[in-house]
Structure 1
């Protein structure tokens, strides 16, 4: 395993972060425990989750991790990251809880609930699962500083941000003489390269670490869905249109079948799996800190580990750029001069 500093902090994290979105949803607790044990054995020290994970049973993913912490005593081996933003169906206050957002009221309640489910007294990285532009930075930073001073969190992170969100976050943090956001988690893969335009350059300039989620584009880049669309996790869940109506690249592999076929042929010629090539390509990006891998089984996890040591030849990367072209670099040079 390889390690690096998380953004401009002094904390070292593994370049593979274990994603747990499948736990309690398509991966049962027994298999989830096997995956977490295997991750620790492989040297991964960074785990990612969210309060809403668990499919129709929101919170179950954190509960599974918490029980594993309690039974194994491995909490100190893990840099834990969880998130808040989405509704959690809290029957005690449905008016506030069934709405998305980052109010102090909601964050305080959500953090306490996450700590209980995870069976821990603090979380290393607490993330805004999405920016809430209806909540002021005065409120957000006052809330996060309070959590920090109480020892309940160590760092603040963000997810699904725009480049200007990160700039505003750091501008406001500088006014308060605080660290601000230290890591951004973003959807980024060969089929979704838009972050190269604004988000990744902004994060690099601001010293914010970046981790790519959905590195295989919900399984499409693993190769299985080319001939059998039902192999995709997103199609199995039947949530494509409802959750991502404006993100056709998520699952529009029917239109991209020629590209996927070329990618499969290129990987075969290299003698590597499509999944490992897709992950290795991300790890080769100069402004990306690491990759969130979210296996459904321990076998999937173990099969992905060689990607950490896979170095792709320059000419091979150029061929991949022809198959999956990006925006052409950062803005404005990508479209102007």
Structure 2
């Protein structure tokens, strides 16, 4: 099974499953998700299949996700066998400006609350959830390093942040001897490929693993939704959140439906569920360490768990890649093979093995370059 193969995160020695169990759906506080019994069954199935990587956040279902994870881990005496990742940033006390963000004050308060909800003495991987456009990386990295020294967290992660911020944070950590950033957690799927421009090369250059969220584009790539004149037809998170201000759920575009149609064709060719094919494609892209899978029903989890148990033929991978290619904007147009050939005088120039840029360039090389 795919869950019995483990990858290390960044430069750390921490071994994690290539598919992580996302628990944003643990609890019904947001109008969608799984009640406790169903969540426990999903958790147990993931563990029984060999999975060891659990992802949550203090924001998820008003803290109930962390509580459920803590209870489920304790019930099976799994604390030393599982890797728990959780996050801070979001405000749970409206009107109090210091009850959210990435300041030292909020981080130290948030970690204590997460430890209590999880029922543990330490967190394996602690993420800054979202850039607050305010707190300097010096303050964030010093605070997280202090928590490492105190034994409250073991590894540091950054999520939903600009590439320049990650680069500066890692450089500060290297220079000052702080705990390094081991992992970035970013949205990535066939319909959202923008991290390929900066984050994947950054991670490969600076030794930071990339952990993917929303690989199925909030369920769009699962095949359970269809376009309609009124928006989206289907039941689930994407339909429930339709029209919200959260851009993560804004997937109803003509481009995206064309990608869904291509995915459906490829899935029929390889005789696999659409969700499995979409996950397989993401997990096997350059620089990806682990992919978060979430489910509210057991059959969804089963489709997800077998995502790495087959190979997609090269021509079909190319078909998916071409159908989902993002628009190349400035300055990235200057890094395309045709422009780069003007720098090399037509000579063949290699890239680092297994690098993102080699993946891009070799497949698109013009003749004679």
Shorter-chain TM-score above 0.5: yes
SS of alignment partner, residue 224 of structure 1? coil
Q: Does 1:17 align with 2:20?
A: yes
SS of alignment partner, residue 135 of structure 1? coil
Does the 8 A contact of 1:220 with 1:232 survive in 2? Answer: no
| C-alpha distance after superposition, 1:184-204 (max 9, x if no partner) | 010000001111111111111
Aligned to 1:39: 46
C-alpha distance 147-179 of structure 1, shift in aligned 2 (>3 A): closer
Q: For 1:172-211, what aligned pairs fall within 5 Å after superposition?
A: 172-211=172-211
Does the 8 A contact of 1:230 with 1:236 survive in 2? Answer: no
C-alpha distance 69-88 of structure 1, shift in aligned 2 (>3 A): same
In structure 2, C-alpha distance between the alignment counterparts of 1:267 and 1:96, rounded to whole Å: 48
In structure 1, C-alpha distance between the alignment counterparts of 2:160 and 2:336, rounded to whole Å: 22
Q: For 1:293-332, what aligned pairs fall within 5 Å after superposition?
A: 293-327=293-327, 331=332, 332=334
Does the 8 A contact of 1:7 with 1:209 survive in 2? Answer: yes
Does the 8 A contact of 1:84 with 1:110 survive in 2? Answer: yes
Does the 8 A contact of 1:84 with 1:107 survive in 2? Answer: yes
Aligned to 2:37: 30
Shift of 1:211: 1.1
Aligned-residue Cα RMSD (Å) equals 2.1
Counterpart pick for 1:3 among 2, 6, 11 = 6
Q: Does 1:73 align with 2:80?
A: no
Q: For 1:159-174, what aligned pairs fall within 5 Å after superposition?
A: 159-174=159-174
Shift of 1:166: 1.5
Aligned to 2:352: none
SS of alignment partner, residue 290 of structure 1? strand
Q: Does 1:61 align with 2:68?
A: no
| C-alpha distance after superposition, 1:49-77 (max 9, x if no partner) | 000000xxx11111111222232222222
Shift of 1:232: 4.2
**318-327 or 101-110: bigger deviation:** 318-327
C-alpha distance 148-259 of structure 1, shift in aligned 2 (>3 A): closer
C-alpha distance 145-262 of structure 1, shift in aligned 2 (>3 A): closer
- If the length of structure 1 is used for normalisation, what is the TM-score? 0.90
Counterpart pick for 1:87 among 73, 85, 91 = 91
In structure 1, C-alpha distance between the alignment counterparts of 2:60 and 2:18, rounded to whole Å: 22
What 5-or-longer segments of structure 1 have no aligned partner? none
C-alpha distance 170-152 of structure 1, shift in aligned 2 (>3 A): same
What 5-or-longer segments of structure 2 have no aligned partner? 341-369
Aligned to 2:144: 144
Does the 8 A contact of 1:69 with 1:119 survive in 2? Answer: no
Shift of 1:304: 1.6
- If the length of structure 2 is used for normalisation, what is the TM-score? 0.83
In structure 2, C-alpha distance between the alignment counterparts of 1:256 and 1:134, rounded to whole Å: 33
In structure 2, C-alpha distance between the alignment counterparts of 1:66 and 1:189, rounded to whole Å: 29
Does the 8 A contact of 1:163 with 1:203 survive in 2? Answer: no
In structure 2, C-alpha distance between the alignment counterparts of 1:74 and 1:278, rounded to whole Å: 30
**228-237 or 217-226: bigger deviation:** 228-237
Equivalences, count: 326
